[in-house]
Structure 1
Amino acid sequence: MQHLRDLWSLIKPRQTALLLFTGIAGYASVADPAARGGGWLPLVGGLFLAISGSTVLNMVYDRDIDRQMARTQNRPLAAGRLSPGPAAVLGVALSLGGLAWAFATALPFGLVVLAGWALDALVYTVWLKRRTPWSVVWGGLSGGMPALAGRALALGRVDLVGVLLALAVLFWIPTHIMTFSIKYAEDYARAGVPVFPNVYGPVVTQKVIGGSTLLAALTMLAVTWLLSLPFGLLGAAACLGAVLVGLAANAMIRPSVAMNFRLFKFASVYMVAAMGLIVLY
């Protein structure tokens, strides 16, 4: 049973579920079911396998730095409960399965899923994560690809709304990553991973968090406006966005660890709720 739990944890289920949900929102953003291409099963199946595969490969590649960080040292590969070889095989199999399914469904969908996989597994994890704190940008781009992929599958092409959905996720991700990098700055320093607080200082990092969250809220508001959501849903999106904008502005004007965690918690709720409004639409 522990072995199965360890295998399941390799895909980071909550993170994978959130990214998958953004893909579902992107697909559902094409309101007319008759106009959607692809179908729900390839969308969910292809994205789930590709996201899970890149996440497993990330865990395999980063097992050495995970051992050095208190927050991650009990992960199954870092703790030695799983062997890296079989885990790597699992990651490759999931990745190839997801990419093959995506390309077999539709070329635009496959290309966007491939871009997301490559940005996460190769550009972010292998190339930049251990070299520069700006790797967070590329990690954010990979995080935005499921939403863009869902929209591209439904439409058969990439459009402005899909790009804005991806950008909203890109702007939201620093709120999560940088908030944790402030809290665990010593862990990252010990592991030799450059993060914003250790390179530019916590105050600059807190302002970046506030600014990126502000951009995430404004981008999602633009998406809901372009989609012409019904008045009630548009009003709910505007209210949620207004609260997030207020918290982000406050975090930029009066940066503090407490304010950033408050912003981080609400930003997560906001992103799920905003994507949920699109699904309801």
Structure 2
Amino acid sequence: MTQTPVAATQVGDPAVAPRTPMTVVRGYVALTKPRIIELLLVTTLPAMVLAAHGLPDWWTVLVTMVGGTLAAGSANALNCFVDRDIDALMRRTGHRPLATHDVSPTGALIFGVLLGVFAVGLMGFTANWLAAGLTALAIGFYVIVYTVLLKRRTPQNIVWGGAAGCMPVLIGWAAVTDSLSWAAVVLFGLVFFWTPPHFWALAIRYREDYARAGVPMLPVVATPAQVSRQILGYSWLTVLTSLVLWPLATGWVYGVLALLAGAGLLIEAYRLNAATKRGEAGKPMRLFHFSNSYLAFVFVAVAVDTFLR
């Protein structure tokens, strides 16, 4: 697909916004994608609470949250570095610092690497080396497996590449126990199955963006009916996986809350599926926003149930 320079100019023209020290600082912060980090941390702390059967010691919580923030920031900054060409072609990402030239590619690369090195070192020397190893694996998987190898080659990119976003629950668990357990694996699976319907709902909304950039996200290469069916299937897997945790490591409070939240997620998925069957566009962003709330609610339910027991 031939790209025209017009698209890149429309979304990120350095002449429109002069580069100043403040825009550079804001640019480096934006490279870390703070809003994505928030959701990752929401899954980390409840996993730590469940692993500790209560609130872990404050030092472990502090270093894990700081290390997790730095690691996620590293992966996101390196993702921006690799994807700087397609980010400039997409309206959703055209405001990113490399697309607007607020940060140089070299600066973004060095920044991302330094954040990653510091994150792994912090986890290793203050928590344990299992947590540090999982942190390094998460960064590498997101940047190399998802961004470099999968994203531009297969519509299943977010299915397998999304495993990087599941790693915080394992990292948090390992930071507390210096080991892993089946409960941690179930939490990993919950986020793993949640990721495709969450991201595909967003990709439906920005289908033209991904098509313009030549990224084969599922909504670009499949019909709306096919996409909505896969979203529905993964939503069911998400809810069923969340319920596996009930007899394994939680009590009735979590079970009831997970059932209620799961019902809401399935209702939204069925609504989108029904709309596509009628030949309508549906409301994918409604599902996207609800999926954010769903994941946060279920993980908060893990912590609440643990404290009550």
TM-score, normalised with respect to structure 1: 0.91
> Does 2:232 align with 1:210?
yes
Deviations 1:10-69 (A, max 9, x none): 111010111122111211112434887981122112211111101101011111101111
Residues 186, 251 of structure 1: CA spacing in aligned structure 2 closer, same or farther, 3 A cutoff?
closer
Deviations 1:233-263 (A, max 9, x none): 4322222222223433454465464254333
Q: Is the 8 A contact 1:11 1:55 kept in 2?
A: yes
Q: Is the 8 A contact 2:205 2:285 kept in 1?
A: no
| Aligned residue number for residue 33 of structure 2 | 12
> Unaligned regions of 5+ residues in structure 1, if any?
none
Equivalent residue for 2:189, pick from 144, 162, 167 = 167
| Aligned residue number for residue 5 of structure 2 | none
Q: Shift of the alpha carbon at 1:212?
A: 1.1
Q: Is the 8 A contact 1:120 1:138 kept in 2?
A: no
Equivalent residue for 1:145, pick from 152, 155, 167 = 167
Q: Which amino acid letter does the alignment assign opposite residue 92 of structure 2?
A: R
Q: Is the 8 A contact 1:119 1:138 kept in 2?
A: no
Deviations 1:51-110 (A, max 9, x none): 110110101111110111111112111111211111111100000111122233212212
Greater radius of gyration (CA): 2
Q: Which amino acid letter does the alignment assign opposite residue 74 of structure 1?
A: H
Q: Which amino acid letter does the alignment assign opposite residue 240 of structure 1?
A: A
| Aligned residue number for residue 128 of structure 1 | 150
Q: Is the 8 A contact 2:48 2:176 kept in 1?
A: yes
Equivalent residue for 1:225, pick from 225, 242, 247 = 247
Question: Percent identity between the aligned chains?
Answer: 33
> Does 2:108 align with 1:87?
yes
Equivalent residue for 2:296, pick from 272, 276, 280 = 272
Q: Which amino acid letter does the alignment assign opposite residue 42 of structure 2?
A: F
TM-score, normalised with respect to structure 2: 0.84
Q: Is the 8 A contact 1:164 1:220 kept in 2?
A: yes
Number of paired residues? 280
Residues 193, 257 of structure 1: CA spacing in aligned structure 2 closer, same or farther, 3 A cutoff?
same
Q: Secondary structure at the match of 2:229?
A: helix
Q: Which amino acid letter does the alignment assign opposite residue 211 of structure 2?
A: A
Q: Secondary structure at the match of 1:271?
A: helix
